[in-house]
Amino acid sequence: MAYLFTSESVSEGHPDKVADQISDALIDNFLAFDTESKVACETLVTTGQVVLAGEVKSNTYLDVQKIARDTINKIGYTKGSYMFDGNSCGVFSAIHEQSDDINRGVDRTSKEQQGAGDQGMMFGYATNETENFMPLALDLSHRILIELAELRREEKEITYLRPDSKSQVTIEYSDDNIPQRIDAIVVSTQHDDFDEDAAMLTKIRKDIVDILIPRVVAKLPEQIKVLFNNDIKYHINPTGKFVIGGPHGDTGLTGRKIIVDTYGGKGAHGGGAFSGKDPSKVDRSAAYATRHIAKNLVAAGVADEVLVQVSYAIGVVEPMGIFIDTYGTCSFNMTDGEIAEKVSTIFDMRPFAIEERLKLRSPMYSETAAYGHMGRKNETVTKTFTQPNGETATLDVELFTWEKLDYVNKVKEVFGL
């Protein structure tokens, strides 16, 4: 019997994502001037106020207030009428030095013997239902909000948009797990005030259905375009007026959108957030590494769908174990346990080896903090960072290294494909 599956996304202006982006901007600035920085920083945003807290061990000094304000302005919170804007909000910092008890388990004389920054389990997932090996419902949810943000910044076709928004996509699957059609789409977007609420709702619905969705569909591959139909149930701003939003409408905290950040409810999640953590924290680095493994396994033809789990003990170099689940989609006669055994010979999952393989000690994290950490484009960009004393660093930074298909040939060789 056919079934429905739903995933959601939130925009860069969602309060939790504002917090994530500030935390990751701090990470990038620390790493730009000291690649060995150890950082765990959390951000809280609310009406007119930003609170920064956390632990740092670094040889650089930053103007954390300016970094927070610049991040908020870049997102689009630039007007006093939003009750939260980068130029006027208060920024309070309670960042202090990292605990020696934690650091003792991580730093070693030999970098190769670096221990895990914490205990826990991390998951990576990949499926062949999309070109970027991501679950379709989540991929579409992200695309809707990315395009909505483009429309907001263009200020041409839709001129009343504010930064906060959410989306949700429900897809009907066949018994053999093949997407059949889009069943429902939910879009809630913050907007400027209108004179008449009824006219406002009518216009917003029309603009989302007639302008936004066609722009999203136009950028999709043909096999996904055909899933859109005239019977889609649209829920556009279903509660009505949405003028009060962002950190004024709801307090935002770092790390509260971990399912949006990963696979939209597909696969599994170990529970650890990513943003605000340097790569010695395996919550982040090992989650990227397991995605890298899963994606390369699916791309190599090992299975149509793969879940990878790795687990660690704080301060211990080698992982506790690697688990693989192919959901019965393995293309040859091999158990998931046998696959996991081979995977452990291909990918070195010691924390320092992950950092080296994926180039994680570069300032690559601001781009991850909105619209998902997985399924994104691997590319190199040039970034410039400035310290309070005027010193600048201009760096070429490779983004989303865990999305590279650079191990496909090695996987095929080991598995005889």
Is the CB of residue 190 less than 8 Å from the CB of residue 163?
yes
Q: Which two tokens stand for residue 269?
A: 């999640």
Report pLDDT for 51.
98
Cβ(407)–Cβ(348) below 8 Å: no
- Quote the mean pLDDT of the chain: 94
The reply, when asked if residue 277 is annotated as ligand binding, is yes
Please give the average per-residue pLDDT across 235-259, as a whole number.
94
47/53 Cα distance (integer angstroms):
18
Phi first, then psi, for residue 103 (nearest 5°) are -65, -30
Please indicate, yes or no, whether the overall pTM of this predicted structure exceeds 0.85.
yes
CA distances to 7, 188, 218, 374, 411 from 143, rounded to whole Å, are 12, 14, 11, 13, 30
Q: Report, as an integer, the average pLDDT of 44-56.
A: 96
pLDDT, position 117: 74
Q: Are 225 and 140 in contact (CB under 8 A)?
A: no
β strands within 303-356, DSSP E: 305-312, 321-325
Q: Is residue 113 scored above 80 in pLDDT?
A: no
Residue 326 has a pLDDT of: 97
C-beta neighbour count of 390 within 10 angstroms: 6
Is 118 a known ligand-binding residue?
no
**Residues 9-19 pLDDT 10s:** 999 999 999 99
The reply, when asked if residue 274 is annotated as ligand binding, is: no
Q: What is the pLDDT of residues 168-205, one digit of tens each?
A: 999 999 999 999 999 999 999 999 998 888 888 999 99
Inform me whether the pLDDT recorded for 211 exceeds 80: yes
Is there a binding annotation on residue 404? no
Assigned fold of 3-9+135-244: GMP Synthetase; Chain A, domain 3 (3.30.300)
Instruction: For residues 321 and 352, give the distance between their C-alpha atoms in angstroms, rounded to a whole number.
Output: 17
pLDDT at 226 over 90: yes
Mean local confidence (pLDDT), 1-12: 95
pLDDT at 74 over 70: yes
Is residue 79 annotated as involved in ligand binding? no
The 3-state DSSP class for residue 384 equals strand
Please check whether residue 69 is in contact with residue 89, taking contact to mean a CB–CB distance below 8 angstroms: yes
Q: Is 55 annotated as a binding residue?
A: yes
120-127+268-415 and 16-108 share a CATH fold: yes
257 is in an annotated binding site: yes
In this prediction, what percent of the chain has a pLDDT beyond 90? 89
| CATH code of the domain made up of 16-108 | 3.30.300.10
To the question of whether residue 24 is assigned a binding role by annotation, the answer is no
Whether pLDDT at 112 is above 70: no
Residue 47 scores a pLDDT above 60: yes
* Element containing residue 26 per DSSP (H, E): helix 15-33
Question: What sign for the dihedral angle of Cα 139, 145, 147, 149?
Answer: negative
What pLDDT score was predicted for residue 101? Answer: 52
Binding site annotation covers 126? no
**Three-state SS at 187:** strand
Angstrom CA distances, 85 to 55, 183, 265, 365, 401, stand at 26, 37, 32, 23, 33
The pLDDT of residue 198 is 86
pLDDT at position 111, please? 67
256 is in an annotated binding site: yes
63 marked among binding-site residues: no
In 3D space, the residue among 389, 300, 396 whose CA is nearest the CA of residue 346 turns out to be 300
- The secondary element (H helix, E strand) that includes residue 393 is strand 392-399
For residue 116, the model assigns a pLDDT of 81
164 annotated to bind ligand: yes
Confidence of residue 98 (pLDDT cuts 50, 70, 90): low
- In the predicted structure, residue 115 carries a pLDDT above the cut 90: no
pLDDT, residue 18, reads 98
- Between 3.30.300.10, 3.60.20.10, 3.40.50.970, 3.40.50.720, what CATH number should domain 120-127+268-415 receive? 3.30.300.10
Give the type of residue at 391: E
**Token pair of 30, please?**
């620390």
The mean pLDDT value for 2-24 works out to 98
pLDDT for position 119: 85
Q: Establish whether 242 is an annotated binding residue.
A: yes
Whether residue 336 is annotated as binding a ligand: the answer is no
250 has binding-site annotation: yes
Question: Could you tell me which residue, 315 or 32, shows the higher pLDDT?
Answer: 32
Whole-number Cα distances in Å, 315 to 164, 175, 348: 40, 45, 17
pLDDT (mean) for 55-72: 95
The tokens for 111 are 């970098």
Domain locations in the chain? 3-9+135-244, 16-108, 120-127+268-415
Rg (CA), the chain: 22
